[in-house]
Amino acid sequence: MPDRGYYFLGFPLLGYQRREFTGPDMLGFGATYRWKMKEYQLKAVKAVYLNLAAQAANVWTTRDAMSLNDLRYGTGIGLHADTITGPIRLDFGFGEQNRYSVYFSAGFDF
């Protein structure tokens, strides 16, 4: 069976590294609050947002092994901006056992 990477909503579970969890069966939940902090009339920057997120997810090798008790948790905070070249995101993720990660992206996902 091929190794499938675990990606949750386009990103790894907050606070963890990409491909840290692999498996064919995935279960995950997430909630995000996005607050528009400032709107600009500039051509380069249109708006800046504060993003708060919480996630719970995991992967398993078989569907029979899936359990809500095995979920891993992550939270995050980030600054996002709408710009002329597309969205820019800087997020800080915090996982269990003092884990953390920094995520940066610029431009549209494709």
The domain ranges of the chain are: 25-106
Residue type, 81: A
Q: What is the pTM of this model?
A: 0.75
Q: Are 58 and 71 in contact (CB under 8 A)?
A: yes
Q: Which of 5-14, 34-43, 70-79, 83-92 has the lowest mean pLDDT?
A: 5-14
Question: With bands split at pLDDT 50, 70 and 90, how would you rate the model's confidence at 24?
Answer: confident
Question: With bands split at pLDDT 50, 70 and 90, how would you rate the model's confidence at 110?
Answer: low
